[in-house]
Amino acid sequence: MQEQICFINGSFVPAGEASVSVFDRGLLFGDGVYEVLRIRNAVVFRPQAHYLRMQSGLDTLGIGNPWNEQEFACLCAELAQRNRVRGGHVYLQVTRGVAPRTHLVPRNLQPTLIGFAAEADLPKWKDRPSGLTAITVSDPRWARCNIKTTMLLPNSLAKQRAADAGAYEAVFVSEDGLVREGASTNVFVVLDDVIYTHPDDQRILPGITRAIVLDLAQAEGLTVKQQPVQVERLQDAHEVFLTGTTTDVGPVIRIDDRPVGNGKIGPVTAALMHKYSELLADETGTD
């Protein structure tokens, strides 16, 4: 098998030769942002949306964007192509750069750029009629979850807790009992023919898949309310589903060992799963 080819500060190098300084702010402070994009049929899905989100994160942190939109899209495509990925993901990360360690934020550093792409099993929940399971966990994160920073320790620990419990996802719940989002997904709850999802604010990541699914739901004539749901209401939910680049639309059929609705994939989720795969196929070609 060919060694993975990584992008680092303008060069493409084999993974074994790609390294960063121990003084990189990304390593020492989690001072950087990243994007994960879906590759399907060797096509990178919606690079523009990911570019715009990265731009907004970089602006908030005061880090210059090293790429324009076209360079970003070309780099993603080149990483996919150099690694011969047909179905999987491309990852791009920008950190503030290298500086002697200090809590003060150094200005005008040269950002560190990292990228890689890898083949991955893409979600095909429609082939798995059994659906997904999730657990709820308390949300220990900061109040700027809308920035896609590399500071993912709470997400990583929560995801591991879910895996240890035999579940796919951990759903973060705020101190006052509001359902926020998953460790790597956004969460939707269907209650009495209304689809609820947390509003696009500083407590969740503005998911690219979330935005697409909101459009699809609207086009289907479904009622959507961007309002948080109290965690107790998950017990009455007819359906729950997750959205994300590595999940697509993922039907949740059990949460905390209790069935969601009748414990089967519900009609709203099934319709949106179907619409989302149609859209992916439209934009990236049929298998």
Considering only residues 245-274, where is the footprint of ligand PDD by CB under 6 A?
245-246
Q: Render 85-118 in DSSP notation, one character per residue.
A: -SSEEEEEEEE--B-SS-SS--SS---EEEEEEE
Distance CA 246, CA 88 (A): 9
- Count CB atoms within 10 A of the CB of residue 193: 9
Site of tokens 């990925």 = 85
Q: How many CA atoms lie within 13 A of 38 on its CB side?
A: 22
Among 47, 57, 97, 244, binds ligand PDD (CB under 6 A): 244
Q: Which is nearer to ligand PDD, 208 or 229 (CB)?
A: 208
Minimum gap (Å) between residue 192 Cβ and ligand PDD = 25
SS3 label, residue 81: helix
Asked whether the CA dihedral 53, 57, 174, 164 is positive or negative, the reply is positive
Query: Per-residue contact track with ligand PDD, 175 to 194, x per CB under 6 A?
Result: ------x--xxx--------
Considering only residues 71-110, where is the footprint of ligand PDD by CB under 6 A?
none
Contact between 26 and ligand PDD by CB under 6 A: the answer reads no
Give catalytic status of residue 225 as yes or no.
no
Set 124, 148, 159, 275: catalytic member = 148
For 122, which DSSP code? P
Contact between 217 and ligand PDD by CB under 6 A: the answer reads no
Q: Which is nearer to ligand PDD, 99 or 151 (CB)?
A: 151
Binding site for ligand PDD (CB under 6 A): 36, 155, 181, 184-186, 205, 207-210, 243-246
Catalytic residues: 148
